[in-house]
Amino acid sequence: MELRIISLDIETANLDMVAEGLSFSDPKGWRTSCVCIHNSTTDITNTYVHPDMVDKVAEEDGYANLYSFTKLQYHLRQKRNEGYTLLTHNGVGFDLPILSKSIKDGGVGGCASLLKKWPKEAMMDTCAVLTKATGERYRLNHLIHGLLGEEQSKLMDAANAPKEWAKGNYEDVIRYCIDDTQKTLAVYLKASEEGEFRAIGKESYRPVSMMDFLKSWSDMWEH
């Protein structure tokens, strides 16, 4: 049975990791700027922008639906109840812990209990699973090159997204976030089709069969 998947990605409004004392392994201090969710069944991406920014984004561009974060909770709850798998790349270590914080602390109020109730066997983090399978951290851009083609790439470097947001280039960051959700899904679907994950960018990368990937995924939620 083919999985029904929603692929999720967030961007943050932080400018300088070093100056702000931030770590990708610690959700403390990170502030959410937008959340994008792409649906594998409908091929539609929903985008949620921080309420303070909604009036600064041009909705007439037509590339996203822009709502306040209260809509996000309903969207996630609905998809969880419909049996969707929640797909991320580094979501376990970054996106989901940040979303789970309170609005005051830079997260999204109400998402913590919602995500905690999401069945573990229906949460897939390609970064975490590949790391468990190989001991190597696979960057999304390198998976894109290995599976979708070397001419394909992320729209910007993740570290630059907060800086572009601060400059007021909101649409560029939102497009980047949308593109990441779509490419995260495309990488997983291509790997499923071809029977293995491949990455180009480090000599230490090795192909990971879909069988080994799914076994590592199963091991993660069973323990």
DSSP labels, 169-180: -HHHHHHHHHHH
Return the bridge partners of 88, or none.
Answer: 125
Supply angle C-alpha 98, 99, 105, rounded to 5. 65
Domain count, the chain: 1
Q: Specify the pLDDT at position 144.
A: 96
Q: What are phi and psi of 169, to 5 degrees?
A: -85, 60
Q: Which residues contact 38 (CB under 8 A, 6 or more apart)?
A: 6, 7, 8, 44, 45, 178, 181, 182, 184, 185
Q: Which of 168, 186, 221, 134 is nearest to 9 (CA)?
A: 186
CB 146 within 8 A of CB 107: no
Q: Specify the pLDDT at position 69.
A: 59
Per-residue confidence in pLDDT tens, the chain, 223 aa: 578 999 999 998 876 666 677 676 677 888 888 899 999 999 999 888 876 666 666 554 544 444 565 678 889 999 999 999 999 999 999 999 998 988 788 878 778 888 989 999 999 999 999 999 999 999 999 999 999 998 788 878 877 888 888 788 888 888 899 999 999 999 999 999 999 999 999 999 999 999 999 999 999 887 6
Q: Specify the pLDDT at position 15.
A: 62
Q: What are phi and psi of 124, to 5 degrees?
A: -125, 120
The CATH number of whichever domain residue 72 belongs to comes to: 3.30.420
Q: Specify the pLDDT at position 5.
A: 97
Q: Which residues contact 149 (CB under 8 A, 6 or more apart)?
A: none
pTM, entire model = 0.90
Q: Specify the pLDDT at position 101.
A: 87
Note down the domain range covering 27.
5-222
Supply angle C-alpha 71, 157, 139, rounded to 5. 90
Q: Specify the pLDDT at position 163.
A: 81
